[in-house]
Chains A and B, each alone.
Chain A
Amino acid sequence: MQRAIWASADWLEERIGERGILAAFMVPAIVIVVVAQFYPLFYSLYISFVDWTLTRSMEPGGFVGLANYAKMGTDGVLQQTWGRTIWFALASTGASTILGFVLAYLTIGEGRTLRIARTILILPMVIAPVAVGTIWRMMLSARVGPINEVLRGIGLPAPDWLGDPTLAMISIVIIDVWEWTPFVFVIFAAALSSLPSEVLKAAEVDGATSWQILKMVILPMLAPVGLLVVMFRLLDALLTLDIVFTTTFGGPGFATHTLSFWIYQQGLRYFNISYSAAISWATLIGCMVMVGALLIWRARISRWQGA
C-alpha cells in the first residue's frame, strides 16, 4: 500500500513538478474560498440585474438592467432605513469607542483586581448575539422587566423601552454598545499596554499633567488604532441584524427597521431575491467607500507620526 502511494506521488511529481505539488495542496482551500465566498458574491450581483421573486419562479427571470437599483429610489421604507442605520452606526460606534477607551485606560495595570475587572468586562462579547437580544428583551420589558422595576423602586420614570418608537431605537443602541464595548476595550487595552513607556515618562518629567499626557501624547499615538476600531465598529453596526431581530423585529411599526433587517425582509420573508441582492450590493459599495476613506485617513496619520 505504501509503495503504491509513493509510486503515485512519484508519478505526480514527474508530471507537475515541485511547484505543481505545492499548488495541489492549496487547491482544496482555494476551491472552498471561491465556492463559499466569491461564487455567491458574483451570483448575487447577477441576480441584482434580473427580475426574480422566488415564490413566483424557481428560476431567475429576465434581465432588467438597473431596475432593481432604481426601485431603491422609490422605496420609502428603504429610505428611512438608510438614515436610521447611519444614525445607529454613528451613535453605537461613538459610544462604544469612548466607553471602551475609558474602560481600557482605567484598567491598565497588572494588579489582580485589574486583571479580574478586565476579564469581567469582556464577558458581554462572548455571549451569543441572539442570546443577548433575548435577555435584553426580557430586561427591557416595560411592565415586568427588572430594569423598570428598579427605576420604579427608586422613584424614576419607567419608560416603554421597546414599545415607544423613539426609545426602541435608543434601546437597540444601548444593547449594541453593551455587547461590543468589550471588543473596543480589548483592542485599546492592548494598544495602551504597548505604548512606549519612555515617551510617557519623558512627558511626565517635562511637567505634563495626566490630562495633558492623555490628550497630547496618548490619544495621538493611539489614533491609527482608534481609526481601525472605528472602522470595524462602524462596519459591524451598519450590518446589525441579530439584536433587531430578537428584540423588536423591526417594530414598533417601522421604527427599528435597519438596513440589514430590510434586506432580510425583502430576501428571506418576501422572497424578492433580486431586489434584496441590489440593496445588498449598494450597501457593500457604500461600506467599501467608507472603509477606503478610513484606511486612507489612517495611512496619513501613520505617515505623519513616522515623519
Chain B
Amino acid sequence: MSKAKTWFDVRRMRLGLSILPVAALAAGFASTTPAAAQSLTFSVMASGTYDKAAEALAPAFQAKTGAKTTIAAFPWATLRQNNITDVVTGTNQYQVMSGGFYLADIYSHFVPLGDMIKKDNMTDGLIPGLMDPGRSEYFNGKQIGFPYGTDVYGVMVNDDLLKKAGVSGDFKTWDDFLAACTTIESKDAGVACFSHPTGSPEQISAFFFGDYDGTYINAAGKYELDVPKAVATGKLIAELWKHLPKQGGAMSFDEANAAFRDGKTAMLVTWPSFANKFLDADDSPIKGHWHQVPFPGPGWPSLSQWQLFIPDSAPDKALAWEWIKTFAGPENAKANYVNYGIGSPWKVLYDDPELKKQHAHDWPAKLADLPRAQNPVLSGEALDFLNNTMQDIANGRVTPDAGIASINTAWANFQVPQTLLETAKTVGAIASK
C-alpha cells in the first residue's frame, strides 16, 4: 500500500496508529505476572496504641517470616465498615482482621481457630473467662476470634477533688454517681463532675449498659428493651449529661482526658487504655493524685476485648496465625502495655511485680470489673440506633419514653444474628416471656 495521500488514507493511518498503543498495553498486561512474594495485611484500629504496636512488630515479623507486612489502620467506625466490606465484596485485602462483636454479621466468613489455639497451647496463661462466649467470639460453637487488647470501661477519679467534696468514690450504682455529681459541683463551682468523650456517639452506650439491667431480646427472638428499666436509664443519662463541663457536648477523647488531667472535672468516664498513660505521664499534674474505681451498676461495664480473626479468604492461614501469635501472644504483652498502654488478656502482665506496684491505682478496679464485663448482644445497626437515640435523650431532643419507644419500634425490624442469639442465651440477655 502506498503512503498516505488522501483524507481517507490519513484517517485509516490514524485508526491503525490508535490500535497500536492499545495492543501494546494489552501485551504488557498479559506479560505481567504478579509478584509471588508473601504478604500479610492486618486491619487494626487507628488509636495511637494498637496500630503503633503493630507497626513496631511488623519489621521483625517480616524478617522472621519473609512476608511483607502492612498495617492498615482506621478509626473504629471505619474499621468496622472496612472489615465487613472487605469480606462481603470479596475484596479480601486483609489476611488478619481486628474487630469484635460488631462483626457478627460476617462471622460465617472467619476461620475457626480452636485447633490452632490448642496446637500452640495459647490458652495457658490467659485470664480465666476471657475466652468464653460473650467475651471472645464464636460461630456455630467454634471459636473464631483470639483476644488481645483487653480493656474495661472505667471511672477515674481525682483524689483531691473528691476529698474536698467529701465523696468516697465507692459508687455501687449510677444513682450514687449522680448524687456525687451534685455534691462535687456544690462544693466547687469551677469544677464539673465528669468528662467523657461525648463527641464519639458510640461511647454513650457505656452508661446505658452500666445502668440498665434488663434484657435485650424478647422471647420471640427480636431485639427489645424492658421499657420501664430502659426509660429509667434514659432519665438517668439525661440527668448525668447536665454534669458535663460547659460546652462539653462534643468532646473528643483527648479533650475529655485533658479536662480531667487539668482539674476541670472531678472524674473521667472512658476507656482506661485511652487515658491512663496520658494521666500518668511525667508532666501530668494529676499523676499520683487519681485512681480508678469499680464501674457502677447495676448493669455491666463494657468490655473491649479486641479479637483477631482470619477471614476464610486468607491465602496463607498459617502465616496469619503466626501474626496473631506474634501480636497477641504473651511474649509482647508487657512491651505492648508499657509502650502503648494496651491492656492484655495475659496474666503474666498483671503478675509482674514492678508493673503491679506502678498500677496499684488502676489495675485493682480493672481486674475487679473484668469478671462482670461483657459485650452487648447487639448487631451494629441495633447498637447505632441505641447510641444515637441515647444521645438525643441526653441532649433533650426526645423524652426518655419517646426515645425508648422509638428504639423498640426500630429494633423490631432488625434481625438478631444467630451467633449473637446463642451468646444472648449464655449471658441471660433474653426475656423469658
Chain A residues at the B interface, C-beta cutoff of 8 Å: 2-3, 5-10, 12-13, 18, 21, 24-25, 53-56, 58, 76-77, 141-144, 148, 158-165, 168, 248-255, 257, 265, 268-272
Q: A265 to chain B: closest CB distance in Å?
A: 7
B249–A252 contact, CB under 8 A? yes
A239 CB, min distance to chain B CBs, angstroms: 20
Compute how far the CA of A250 lies from the CA of B81 in the bound complex, rounded to whole angstroms. Answer: 16
Given known pairs A6-B1, A158-B247, A271-B105, the reply for A254 and B388 (CB within 8 Å) is yes
Question: Given A251-B388, A255-B392, is A160 in contact with B11 using a C-beta cutoff of 8 Å?
Answer: no
Chain A residues near B364: list those with CB within 8 A.
Answer: none
Cα separation A230 to B349 with both chains bound (whole Å):
63
Main secondary structure of the interface of B (DSSP, over half): helix
B30 within 8 A of A: no
In the complex, residue of chain B having the shortest beta-carbon distance to the beta carbon of A138: B252
Chain B 374-410 near chain A by CB (<8 Å), digits 1 or 0 = 0000001100100011111111010000000010011
Which residues of B have CB within 8 Å of A6? 1, 12-13, 16
Please measure, in the bound complex, the distance between the C-alpha atom of A163 and the C-alpha atom of B251, giving whole angstroms.
Answer: 8
Question: Once the chains bind, are A54 and B245 in contact (CB under 8 Å)?
Answer: no
Given contacts A5-B19, A25-B15, A162-B249, 17 further A-B contacts (CB under 8 A): A3-B1, A5-B13, A55-B88, A55-B105, A55-B106, A142-B247, A148-B247, A160-B247, A160-B250, A250-B388, A251-B250, A251-B388, A252-B392, A253-B389, A253-B392, A254-B389, A269-B381
Flag if A268 contacts B245 (CB, 8 Å): no
CA distance A300 to B199 in the complex (A): 49
Name A247's closest neighbour in chain B (CB-CB): B250
A76 and B391: CB pair below 8 A? no
Q: Which of A24, A25, A142 contacts B250 (CB 8 A)?
A: A142
Of A56, A77, A164, A250, the contact of B249 (CB 8 Å cutoff): A164
Interface residue tally of chain B, by bracket? Answer: 35 or more
In the bound assembly, the distance between CA atoms of A254 and B384 in angstroms comes to: 10
For residue A21, which residues in chain B have a CB less than 8 angstroms away from its CB?
A: 11, 15
Within 8 A of A (CB), among B2-29: 8, 11-13, 15-20
Do residues A163 and B380 form an inter-chain contact, with CB atoms below 8 A? no
A165 to chain B, nearest CB (A): 5
Look across to chain B and name the residue whose beta carbon is closest to the beta carbon of A268.
B81
- Of the candidates B12, B20, B105, B388, the one whose C-beta lies within 8 Å of that of A13 is B12
Please give, as numbers and ranges, the residues of chain B lying within 8 Å of A161 by CB-CB distance. 250
Q: Do A252 and B391 touch across chains, with their CB atoms under 8 A apart?
A: yes
Beta-carbon contact of B395 and A252 below 8 Å: yes
Q: Whose C-beta in chain A lies nearest to the C-beta of B398?
A: A253
Complex Cα–Cα for A21 and B410 (A):
58
Minimal Cβ-Cβ distance residue in A for B195: A143
Q: Are A253 and B11 in contact (CB under 8 A)?
A: no
Could you say which residues of chain B place their CB within 8 Å of the CB of A10? 1, 12
How close is B263's CB to chain A, nearest CB, in angstroms? 14
Q: B198: which A residues are within 8 A, CB to CB?
A: 163, 252
Residue in contact with A270 in the complex, picked from B16, B17, B381, B391, CB distance below 8 Å: B381
Within 8 A of A (CB), among B240-256: 245, 247-252, 255
- A249 interface neighbour in B77, B255, B380, Cβ under 8 Å: B77
Q: Please name all residues of chain A whose beta carbon is closer than 8 Å to the beta carbon of B84 when the two chains form the complex.
A: 55, 271
Q: Which residue of B lies closest to A159 (CB)?
A: B247
Please provide the 10 A-B residue pairs with the shortest distance between their CB atoms, ordered closest to farther: A163-B249, A5-B16, A163-B250, A253-B392, A55-B105, A142-B247, A253-B391, A9-B12, A270-B381, A162-B250
Using CB atoms, name the residue of chain A closest to B16.
A5
Offer 5 A-B interface pairs, CB within 8 angstroms, sorted by A.
A12-B15, A162-B199, A163-B248, A253-B397, A270-B381
CB of A277 to closest CB in B, whole Å: 15
Q: Is the CB of A252 within 8 A of B88?
A: no
Q: Kindly name the residue among B381, B384, B390, B393 whose own CB sees the greatest number of chain A CB atoms within 10 A.
A: B381
